[in-house]
C-alpha cells in the first residue's frame, strides 16, 4: 500500500470502561497466560476487567455442540477472571464466555490462545512438551553478520504447491523440511534452491491463525495470504497436515523452523497486529468491546488499515499484549525477526518498547515493517511509526518505497522507472544506495539514523511482481526486460540497506498480471519451477549478487558515519546513470575499494574512477564473486541497461 500524506489526522476516541476507583483500566503485571496445563490440573484465566461474570466451557472437540463441563470463574487481580480445573484435561478444547450488563457475550478462545482447534474458535489444552520435534531443545539460530542479511519473502503455498515443485508436502510447513527436491529437469527446488540462492533470512507471510480459510474444507484448494488475523499466538492450521490436531500444526511449524536453522537460515515472521479479521468474532470484542480498537466518534471502527478496523497499540493492555505475543514467538518457536504489516498504525512508543524487549531476548533480532497505512490512522502523525519517523525508532527499520518506485516505476504502472531509462529517478536511487541516511551528496530527505533501518527492494507480495510490472509498463522484448530485472536487483544488492527479494522473482515468475492476488487460485500465485530451467541465467545472476555481497561487507557498512565517510557518488551527466565508489575499506573488506555503475540508460555509459587494478565482479548480465576477469585503468563502463561492479584488490 502506498504511503499517504496525512494532512488530516483524527483523534482516538476508543470506548473505555472504568474498572478501578480512579477510572483506569486494570492491567495484570504478570504475563498473560490463559491456559496453563500442569498434568493433574489446568489453570485458566481471561482478561475482562469490566465484566459482571465469566465462565469456562470445556469441549471434547473443536466442533462439539455441547460442553462437557462449565465452570464459573472468579474475579482476580489485574482484571483477570480465573479458575482451576483439577483433572487431566489434556486434549480438551475450551472457550470463555463473559457477561456484561446482564448479557452474555458470545464464546471465545480468548485473546491469547496459544493452541487452537480447527478454524480457531476454541482454544486447546496441550502439553507443550508434546509439540517439540526431536532435537528441538538443541535448535539454534545461525549467527549471521548484518552485512550478510539478505531477506527472501516466502508464501508457504506459492513456494511449493505447483505439481513440478518436486515437494511431497506441497503447500505445507513441512515443504521447507524436505531436502533433495528437484524440478522435472533435475534442478534443485525448495530449501536446496534457497541455499543455492545465497539468501540468509526467510520471511514467512502470515503464519499465525487467520480466519479466511475454512480448515474443514481444505480439499477445496482455498487460497489466502492470511492478513485477517484471528489468534495472534497460535499457528495457522491450513499449512499443517492435520488442522484438527493442535499439536500437529505446532510441531510441524517447529520442524520447519528447525530445518531452516539447520540449513543456515534465520526466520522472520510477518505479523499483522494493525487490524484483525471481522472484529465481532475476535476475543478482543468478546471480552472487552471497544478497548483494543480505535473507535471513531460515531461509534464505528476507525479504518486506517483499510481492512475494517485498526487496533489501538497505545492502549496499555494491547501494548503489553503485542510485546508478550512477540516474545512468545521468539521463545517458543525460535523466530529470529518480525516484519510488521502497516506498521504506521502502531505508535512509536510501542514499537520502541517492542524493540527493547525483543533485543533483550536476542540481540540479533531483525525488526522492520511497512512505514505506511491504507489511510490516515486515528492517531497523531508525529506519534506513529510512519516511514518519515523511522529515525525516531530504535533498531526498527522500514521498507523503502523511495528506491522501489525509483528503480521499477510508480504504483500506477505508467512507466518502469530507472531500469527502463526513465529520467527523474536518480536522486531516489542514490538515496536507496546510501541506505536512507543523511549524506552530503544525497538530496532526498533522510528518514533513517542507520542504513540497516532501510529495507531495499524492487517488489514484494503486494502489487505487481517484477515480471508483470514490466509487461504492463513497457513494450520491451523479454530479453530487454530480463536485463532490467538484473539492473534493478544490482541496485538492491549493492545498497547499504537490507536487501529484500520476493519469492520466485529470481525465476522470472508471473502472476498473470494480477496486482493484488491475496485470494487468487494457485493458477495465479503458484511458482512454476520449470522457470528455473528456462531462466537459469537469471537465477545464477541473483546467486552471484548474493555471493558478491557476502564477500564484500563494504556494501553494508552498518553505520551512518562510515557510509558518509566511505561512500562517494561519482558525477554523471546522464539522468539514468548512477555511479558510486566505496573506498578506504582496509580492515573492513578484502577489497580496498568497490566501484559500481548502474546504467538505466538506453546507451552505453562510462565514468572516470581512480587508476587501479580491479577485479570485475559483474558485467553484461553476469555476476561472480570470484571474478569475471581483471581490469587495470581509470574508466568503468556499462552497456545500456546493465551494471558493472569492480573491486580494487
Residue tagged active-site, from 228, 370, 463, 624: 370
Beta bridge partners of 96: 56, 108
Spatial contact of 637 and 606, defined as CB atoms under 8 Å apart: yes
Residue 341 is a catalytic residue: yes
Residue tagged active-site, from 215, 314, 341, 624: 341
Question: Could you give the CA distance from residue 524 to residue 535 in angstroms, rounded to a whole number?
Answer: 19
Q: Is 561 exposed, middle or buried (0-12, 13-18, 19+ CB in 10 A)?
A: exposed
The three-state (H, E, C) secondary structure of 375-424, written as one string: CCCCCCHHHECCHHHHHHCCCCEEECHHHHHHHHCCCCCCCCHHHHCCCC
Spatial contact of 116 and 231, defined as CB atoms under 8 Å apart: yes
Residues in Cβ contact with 587 at an 8 Å cutoff, skipping those fewer than 6 apart: none
Angle of CA points 291, 329, 194, to nearest 5° = 130
The DSSP letter of residue 494 is T
Q: How many Cα atoms within 13 Å fall on the side-chain side of residue 468?
A: 22
Nearest to 35 by CA among 25, 44, 48: 44
Beta bridge partners of 81: 46, 75
SS3 at position 28:
coil
Spatial contact of 344 and 384, defined as CB atoms under 8 Å apart: yes
As a whole number of Å, the end-to-end CA separation of the chain is 43
Spatial contact of 605 and 582, defined as CB atoms under 8 Å apart: no
The DSSP letter of residue 49 is T
* Alpha carbon separation from 497 to 396, 449, 566, 621 (Å, rounded): 12, 11, 15, 23
Spatial contact of 340 and 355, defined as CB atoms under 8 Å apart: no
74 backbone dihedrals φ, ψ, rounded to 5°? -110, 140
Question: Could you give the CA distance from residue 565 to residue 73 in angstroms, rounded to a whole number?
Answer: 63
How many Cβ atoms from other residues are within 10 Å of residue 632's Cβ?
A: 8
Question: Could you give the CA distance from residue 11 to residue 115 in angstroms, rounded to a whole number?
Answer: 36
Nearest to 378 by CA among 2, 14, 16, 9: 9
Spatial contact of 371 and 343, defined as CB atoms under 8 Å apart: yes
The DSSP letter of residue 313 is T
Question: Could you give the CA distance from residue 554 to residue 587 in angstroms, rounded to a whole number?
Answer: 10
Question: Could you give the CA distance from residue 277 to residue 562 in angstroms, rounded to a whole number?
Answer: 44
Which residues have a catalytic role annotated? 341, 370
Amino acid at each position: 500500500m502506498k504511503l499517504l500524506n496525512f494532512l488530516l489526522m483524527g483523534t482516538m476516541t476508543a470506548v473505555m470502561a472504568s474498572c478501578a476507583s480512579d477510572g483506569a483500566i486494570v492491567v495484570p503485571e504478570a504475563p498473560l497466560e490463559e491456559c496453563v496445563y500442569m498434568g493433574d490440573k489446568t489453570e485458566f484465566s481471561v482478561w475482562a476487567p469490566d465484566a459482571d461474570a465469566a465462565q469456562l466451557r470445556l469441549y471434547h472437540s473443536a466442533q462439539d455442540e455441547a460442553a462437557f463441563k462449565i465452570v464459573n470463574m472468579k474475579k482476580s487481580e489485574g482484571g483477570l477472571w480465573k479458575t482451576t480445573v483439577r483433572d487431566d484435561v489434556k486434549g480438551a478444547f475450551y472457550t470463555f464466555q463473559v457477561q456484561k450488563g446482564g448479557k452474555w457475550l458470545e464464546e471465545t478462545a480468548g485473546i491469547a490462545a496459544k493452541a487452537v482447534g480447527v478454524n480457531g474458535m476454541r482454544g486447546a489444552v496441550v502439553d507443550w512438551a508434546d509439540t517439540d520435534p526431536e532435537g528441538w531443545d538443541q535448535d539454534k539460530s545461525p549467527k549471521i553478520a548484518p552485512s550478510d542479511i539478505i531477506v527472501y519473502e516466502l508464501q508457504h503455498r506459492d513456494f511449493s504447491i505447483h505439481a513440478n515443485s518436486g515437494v511431497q508436502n506441497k503447500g505445507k510447513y513441512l515443504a521447507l523440511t524436505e531436502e533433495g527436491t528437484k524440478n522435472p529437469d533435475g534442478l534443485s527446488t525448495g530449501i536446496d534452491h534457497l541455499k543455492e540462492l545465497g539468501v540468509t533470512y526467510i520471511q514467512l507471510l502470515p503464519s499465525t491463525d487467520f480466519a479466511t480459510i475454512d480448515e474443514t474444507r481444505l480439499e477445496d484448494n482455498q487460497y489466502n495470504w492470511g492478513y485477517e488475523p484471528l489468534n495472534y499466538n497460535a499457528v495457522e492450521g491450513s499449512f499443517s497436515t492435520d488442522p484438527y490436531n493442535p499439536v500437529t500444526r505446532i510441531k510441524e511449524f517447529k520442524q520447519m523452523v528447525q530445518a531452516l536453522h539447520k540449513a543456515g537460515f534465520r526466520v522472520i515472521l510477518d505479523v499483522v497486529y494493525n487490524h484483525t479479521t471481522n472484529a465481532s468474532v475476535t476475543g478482543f470484542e468478546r471480552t472487552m468491546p471497544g478497548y483494543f480498537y480505535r473507535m471513531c466518534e460515531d461509534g464505528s471502527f476507525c479504518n486506517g488499515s483499510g481492512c475494517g478496523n485498526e487496533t489501538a497499540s497505545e492502549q496499555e493492555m494491547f501494548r503489553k499484549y503485542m510485546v508478550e505475543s512477540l516474545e512468545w514467538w521468539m521463545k517458543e518457536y525460535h523466530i529470529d525477526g518480525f516484519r510488521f504489516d502497516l506498521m504506521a498504525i502502531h505508535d512509536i512508543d510501542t514499537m520502541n518498547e517492542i524493540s527493547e524487549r525483543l533485543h533483550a531476548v536476542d540481540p540479533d533480532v531483525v525488526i522492520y515493517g511497512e512505514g505506511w497505512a491504507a489511510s490516515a490512522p486515528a492517531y497523531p502523525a508525529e506519534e506513529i511509526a510512519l516511514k518519515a519517523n523511522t529515525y525516531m525508532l530504535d533498531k526498527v527499520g522500514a521498507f523503502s518505497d523511495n528506491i522501489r518506485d525509483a528503480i521499477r516505476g510508480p504504483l500506477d504502472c505508467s512507466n518502469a522507472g530507472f531500469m527502463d531509462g526513465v529520467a527523474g529517478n536518480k536522486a531516489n536511487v542514490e538515496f536507496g544506495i546510501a541506505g536512507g541516511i543523511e549524506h552530503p551528496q544525497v538530496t532526498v530527505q533522510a528518514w533513517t539514523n542507520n542504513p540497516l533501518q532501510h529495507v531495499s527492494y524492487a517488489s514484494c507480495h503486494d502489487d505487481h511482481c517484477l515480471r508483470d510490472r514490466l509487461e504492463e509498463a513497457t513494450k520491451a522484448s523479454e530479453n530487454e526486460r530480463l536485463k532490467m530485472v538484473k539492473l534493478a536487483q544490482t541496485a538492491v544488492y549493492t545498497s547499504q540497506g537490507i536487501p529484500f527479494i520476493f519469492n520466485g522473482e529470481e525465476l522470472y515468475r508471473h502472476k498473470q498480471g494480477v496486482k493484488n492476488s491475496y485470494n487468487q487460485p494457485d493458477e495465479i500465485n503458484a511458482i512454476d519451477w520449470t522457470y528455473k530451467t528456462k531462466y537459469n541465467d537469471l537465477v545464477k545472476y541473483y546467486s552471484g549478487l548474493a555471493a558478491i555481497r557476502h564477500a564484500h561487507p563494504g556494501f553494508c557498512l552498518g553505520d551512518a558515519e562510515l557510509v558518509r565517510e566511505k561512500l562517494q557518488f561519482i558525477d554523471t551527466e546522464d539522468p539514468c546513470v548512477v555511479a558510486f565508489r566505496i573506498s578506504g575499506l582496509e580492515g573492513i573488506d578484502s577489497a580496498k575499494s568497490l566501484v559500481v555503475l548502474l546504467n538505466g540508460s538506453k546507451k552505453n555509459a562510462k565514468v572516470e574512477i581512480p587508476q587501479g587494478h580491479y577485479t570485475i565482479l559483474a558485467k553484461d548480465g553476469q555476476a561472480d564473486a570470484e571474478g569475471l576477469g581483471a581490469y587495470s585503468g581509470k574508466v568503468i563502463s556499462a552497456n545500456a541497461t546493465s551494471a558493472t561492479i569492480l573491486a580494487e584488490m
